[in-house]
Amino acid sequence: MLSFFKDYKYFAIVFLIIAIIIMTIIYNVLNVEKPLPIYQPSMVNFELVDSTIQYKKKYHKIADFSLTNQNGKTITQEDYKNKIYVADFFFTTCQTICPIMTDHMVYIQKELEDEPEILLLSHTVTPEIDSVAQLKKYALEKGVDDSRWNLVTGDRKQIYDLARKSYLAVKDVGSADPYDMIHTENFMLIDKKSQIRGFYDGTKLEDIERLISDIRKLKKDSE
């Protein structure tokens, strides 16, 4: 009888080892990397979202736009059609977070220099100050690659609406000016279908590294 239980014990150990191996294999097979989320207004801090869409849970996309870049060229959604791109909001005279954000955009531009299909788009939140000439001066100072990175200015209301209703990226000041806004440090990752796939702190290098990784993942998933 004791011999039987002894033999059974060894069988149980072997069975347990085999079971663990099988479970590990199944876990690795099923543990497929999850796709990046598709952000909807209801998923984002309400402070950054226009009140008219705060509870929207699906079908959110970046709206059509028409703005002017640092070279005086009109930039529309067609320039970003079927492209993966990173968007942000800034202004050239900002002395706080903007220089860091711009340096990190330059870093992204350099890290992805062999992937010219990945684009960048920076919107000024002070279009009355950031003229085409001012944006061009800033672009030259920062080393902006005009073929991939547009710094855009234009109608203040349109920029405000894009920021609050499309990119979900700036705070409403609540002042007498209905289109007054405070930009945040957010970088937004936009996919080929004009959907938001990620938010990143543009002042933190670790977030920028995560953004670059997500860009490559999104590119691979969309091929």
Q: Crossing angle for the helix pair 205-221 and 98-111, nearest 10 degrees?
A: 40
Collapse the DSSP code of 27 into the 3-class scheme (helix H, G, I; strand E, B; otherwise coil) and give the result.
helix
d(CA 114, CA 24): 37
**183 belongs to an annotated ligand binding site:** yes
> Is residue 123 annotated as involved in ligand binding?
no
Is 98 marked within a binding site?
yes
101, 187 Cβ separation under 8 angstroms: yes
Residue carrying structure tokens 């990945």: 118
Residue 64, CB-side half-sphere exposure with 13 Å CA sphere:
1
Which strand ranges, in their side-by-side order, compose the sheet holding 118-124? Answer: 149-152, 118-124, 84-90, 186-190, 196-201
The residues facing 51 across adjacent strands are none
CB distance 212 to 204 below 8 Å = no
- Run of H or E residues at 119: strand 118-124
- Residue numbers in the known binding site for Cu cation are 94, 98, 183
- Residue numbers in the known binding site are 94, 98, 183
